[in-house]
Chains A and B, each alone.
Chain A
Amino acid sequence: MERSFRSDLIRLVTFLGGVYFFLEFILPVSVLESVGVEALHEDISYGFIVFSSMAMGLGLINLFLVHGSRIIFQRKDWMYSFVLLIGLVCMMSSTVMDWRGGQGVADKARPFEILREFSDVIERDSTASREDVPPLEIRTEALRDATFARIAELRANIDQKTLLTFSDQEELYPLGETYIENLREILSGTEQAARDVKVGDFSSSQALAASLAQVSGFIRRIEQLNYDHSLTKKTYDFLYQGLFVSLGSAMFSLLGVYIAAAAYRAFRIRSFESSLMMVAAVLVMLGQIPFYVYISEDLPAVRQWLMEVPNSAAFRAIRIGAAIAGLVMAFRMWLSIESDSFSKERRG
């Protein structure tokens, strides 16, 4: 059999894909640490994840190719394809806007989070005696000044009209006002904490950091309230809850009524095996529903025994068999024994 360069290359790449995780499993952690692979494990794993994520566009392209061509050439049922693509585009745009909206909430609170992070960094660098950073006095002064500046900026806009941007749900105003009131109080406390910060006294800078965290927390809550009542969020919820969740649940719930028809039509007792199956099925159902008390108080215990003993033992046997088969399959796949036709290059 002629083995082309391409099929050998596919086999080699398939093998290389599994080498890292196989070695990572069989080699002791100490060996992985000594060669420095253990420290890189997270990056390597994310490299694989990023690689896999590149396939995400395949589904989209296929949908556009199949349904787009049906619309362009006005083939049978092209209207439904049009609806499908409209749904797709609407959901994608709405999800992007929801992402940006959520990001906007985080961005508003970010300046105070940076200050808090800075406070932690000052302490960490000072404890580590870093010399490549400005002196402690200058950094503490910078933290204090920046805190005052941010607070002054926020104070200039701290009223209901500027902070609460939604206007259609007035019953939420009291909640927003409570947040604003809390924020005002915390700002005063933060200002005081900034004044109290002393060079080299890390307990005072930790108190300031805690205060700054509270400020950013309240800004986030106020902005979240605004965002939750924005048109962007309502559109997203409309598509997600109103259409996606409802349609998805309804689609799958159809199986509930089909199974009733199947119970009437197909569940026939024709042999000893089917009798066993039916008795077990009925006992499991009766033992789990609240009406068991009208039949026998012992039904839940019988069900429990059925699940714990014969079911668990039989299912475990099946599971062990399936897992061994899966392992063999994985091994064959890794070494390209299974997928000969896959790695073989088709010509013409």
Chain B
Amino acid sequence: MRNALQNLDRRVIYLFVILAVALPIAFQYRVTPARLPSAEKFYDVIESMDPKEGGIALVSLDFGPNTKAENEPQAKVVIEHLMRRRIPIALLTQYALAEGFLKSVPEEIAADLMREYPGEVWEYGKDWVNLGFRPGNLLFVQSLAKSKDMAAELKRDVFGTSLKNLSVFRNVKTIRDVRLLAEFTGLVGVFDTYIQFFQTEDYVPVFGHGCTSITIPEAYIYLDSGQLDGLLEGIAGAAWYSELLSQKFSGRKEDSSMVINTALGVAHLTIIFFVLFGNIMGALGGRKAGSRRVSS
């Protein structure tokens, strides 16, 4: 028996992990997520914004399929919150592969909101605008930050409509009209670009960031320094934000982040089990033998 466990085939481990993830999803098992103060900060930032003061929220969705699992739920809850608060949104990306999400995410949220509030309308051009993929990376960001007329610099939305004809950009001129910058990414170098260049000598917009779990340790140093005003930490951050929204808006449709977060919790327990189990097996069978046999 001990021999069999020490020679455990890697595919058995794979099967265990997949089952651990699949069962909570199959049964739609959901548990209230852990409280995350960093997500609450982000929530409070948007709650404190007054739609009457004008300006826009610039939302940069810089993620592709590789980090969609974490960044998409984050982007959804934040955009939903902004739309509920009627704060106009300008969506853009610096990552070409993300362009599809710029269209699907806000449209889906607007449709859900219109189902929740029959008679109310959330419409493209007035509540949000899709600026599409913007190449140039740091050159683009620093140019936008210094722009004297953002609509003139950005010219058109993704569909080719002049921004001057869309009401979202009606009163937007400079970076000072960007009241919130929200950026979601798991890519190296994109988040830093905004931290470094999206500011002028006398103005730095409020900045909220949605990061993948890998970059959480790094993101905390910016939260501590005040360069970030709010942070969504992976799926867990999105789940807690979603919980905050559900607490405030009782008629809100439950999103999938709760189930995903619960399944993720089960998967974590499985990993912790494997770490402990691997160490016990390693101790029983000798260090070298334990690690070599399983790696086959």
Contacts and interface: CB of A to CB of B under 8 A. Distances in A.
Contact of A312 (B64, B224, B264, B277): B224
Interface in B259-293: 261-262, 264-272, 274-275, 277-279, 281-282, 287, 290-291
B191 to A, nearest CB: 13
Interface in A266-284: 266-270, 278, 282
A220 B221 CA distance: 45
Nearest to A106: B160
Given A42-B153, A107-B160, A245-B65, A49 B136 contact: yes
A interface, over-half SS: helix
Contacts of B37: 304
A267 B277 CA distance: 10
Contact of B278 (A265, A270, A285, A304): A265
Nearest to A254: B14
Contacts of B234: 288
Nearest to B8: A264
Interface in A251-308: 251-253, 256-257, 259-261, 263-270, 278, 282, 285-292, 299-300, 304, 307-308
Given A107-B160, A116-B165, A216-B165, A315 B269 contact: no
Nearest to B277: A264
B100 interface: yes
B47 interface: no
A299 B34 CA distance: 9
Interface string B64-75: 111111000000
B265 A291 contact: yes
Contacts of A247: 65
B interface, over-half SS: helix
Contact of B272 (A29, A42, A252, A286): A286
Nearest to A323: B192
Interface in A25-59: 29, 41-42, 45-46, 48-49, 52-53
A113 B220 contact: no
A155 interface: no
Contact of A105 (B13, B159, B264): B159
A8 interface: no
Interface size class of A (residues with CB under 8 A): 35 or more
B119 to A, nearest CB: 13
Interface string B124-160: 1110000000011001101100110000010010111
A268 B282 contact: yes
B10 interface: yes
Nearest to A103: B160
Contact of B275 (A52, A102, A216, A263): A263
B272 A267 contact: no
A252 B123 CA distance: 34
Interface string A44-87: 01101100110000000000000000000000000000000000
B31 interface: yes
Contact of A41 (B36, B143, B266, B282): B143
B18 interface: yes
Contact of A260 (B64, B274, B282): B274
A113 B156 CA distance: 13
B295 interface: yes
Contacts of A316: 221, 224
A28 B192 CA distance: 24
B42 to A, nearest CB: 15
Contacts of B290: 268
Contact of A53 (B135, B165, B267): B135
Nearest to B66: A252
Contacts of B162: 113, 117
A290 B34 contact: yes
Contacts of B217: 307, 311-312, 315
A63 to B, nearest CB: 16
Interface in B217-244: 217-218, 220-221, 224, 233-234, 236, 239
Nearest to B16: A260
B293 to A, nearest CB: 9
B34 A292 contact: yes
A189 interface: no
A122 interface: no
A109 B161 contact: yes
B153 A267 contact: no
A180 interface: no
A102 B159 CA distance: 5
A253 B69 contact: yes
A93 interface: no
Given A103-B160, A290-B33, A290-B34, A315 B218 contact: yes
Interface of A: 29, 41-42, 45-46, 48-49, 52-53, 102-103, 105-107, 109, 113, 116-117, 213, 216-217, 220-221, 224, 240-241, 244-249, 251-253, 256-257, 259-261, 263-270, 278, 282, 285-292, 299-300, 304, 307-308, 311-312, 315-316, 319
The 3 closest A-B pairs by CB, nearest first: A248-B65, A289-B265, A106-B160
Given A220-B161, A264-B277, 6 more contacts: A213-B165, A245-B100, A256-B21, A286-B268, A290-B34, A292-B34
5 contacts: A52-B135, A256-B21, A264-B13, A282-B272, A311-B220
